[in-house]
Amino acid sequence: MMDEFYFKINHLHPNKGSKKGKLRLGRGQGSGKGGTCGRGHKGAKSRSGFSKKKGFEGGQMPIQRRIPKFGFKRNIKKKIVGINLDTIQNCINKISQKQEKNIINKEFYLKNNLVRKNDFVKILGRGELLTSLSIHANQFSKKALFSIKKIGGKAVFMK
């Protein structure tokens, strides 16, 4: 008696009429979809491999071409290049054997291939400086400003 109340996986099936078979096209006139298989007679849509391009309106000028263009985009963006304090210190260590220089400006960055001619320079706070310097840049991070002041250097904002 108990077996009748429990479902068994091999006895499960969908209800009658809930699953409908796939319509098989081109299998004779009796099926209702023989002959042209519901594609009509002739024309591109009746051929195999036909696909309409996105936005195609039957030769009519499509909406994306009928509506006028407006506005503009600015392409001129200044590139901000971040330079860390440890990078500056490494460059100074290489140069210090030749000469002693305490001013770090655009010329210094260009010479050491840190920036390009039209780049904005932002000094970032990674690493430490060992010598007091006058550093010229467009922007400074808070940590970089703190580190430069702590060592006794100067942060000069350039335009």
Assess contact for 156 and 135: CB atoms under 8 A: yes
This model's pTM is above 0.85: no
Report strand pairing: 154-157 vs 120-124: unpaired
Residue 1 has pLDDT above 60, yes or no: no
Residue 101 has pLDDT above 90, yes or no: no
Mean pLDDT for the stretch of residues 99-113? 83
Residue 36 has pLDDT above 80, yes or no: yes
Mean pLDDT for the stretch of residues 97-121? 83
d(CA 158, CA 137): 6
Four-way CATH pick for 100-157: 3.100.10.10, 3.40.50.2300, 3.40.50.10800, 3.40.50.2000: 3.100.10.10
User: Where in the chain are the domains?
Assistant: 100-157
Range name among 10-19, 86-95, 98-107 with the lowest pLDDT average: 98-107
Rounded to the nearest integer, the mean pLDDT of the chain is: 88
Please tell me the number of Cα atoms within 13 Å of 75 on its side-chain side: 0
d(CA 118, CA 159): 12
d(CA 151, CA 149): 6
